[in-house]
Amino acid sequence: MGRHITILSYHLKEDAEEEFLSTWRLLNDLNFRYAGCLGARIHRRDSDLNYYEYATWPDKATYQRSSALLPPAALALRARLRACCKRVEEAVELELLAEHLNKKLRRDYT
């Protein structure tokens, strides 16, 4: 399959959720248009300020060169995103070996 998965964790500052989410959407739009990202999801753990991003890339090489393909505006968005956070951690990189999706969801991933 070859798909590459990245999981990042964001530990937000108080009252930064709205700014963080709007910036996250803008930055991921650029990742889709310029860098080859196939999809990204953001999750929150219960009601605390810990957020987790799950992004899918065609392969590891695409992910590794993604930053170089982004327009200059992405740097400002990354800085804005990080300003919303106490801490950002790239938790895990994974290689996707297999997936089994509900037929209704398959069109979202292909």
Q: Which of 79, 88, 89 is nearest to 19 (CA)?
A: 79
Q: 12 forms bridges with which residues in the sheet? A: 85
Positive or negative: CA dihedral 35, 12, 83, 25: positive
Return the biggest CA–CA distance within the chain. 40
At residue 105, the pLDDT reads 59
Number of compact structural domains in the chain: 1
Cα–Cα distance for residue pair 40/90, rounded to 1 Å: 14
Give how far the C-alpha of residue 72 lies from the chain's centroid of Cα atoms, to the nearest Å.
Answer: 18
Instruction: Provide the whole-model pTM.
Output: 0.84
- 54: CATH: 3.30.70.100
**In tens digits, what is the pLDDT along the chain, a chain of 110 residues?**
589 999 999 999 999 999 999 999 999 999 999 999 999 999 998 778 999 999 999 999 999 999 999 999 999 999 999 999 999 998 788 888 887 777 665 555 55
At residue 100, the pLDDT reads 72
Domain of 13 in residue numbering reads as 4-109
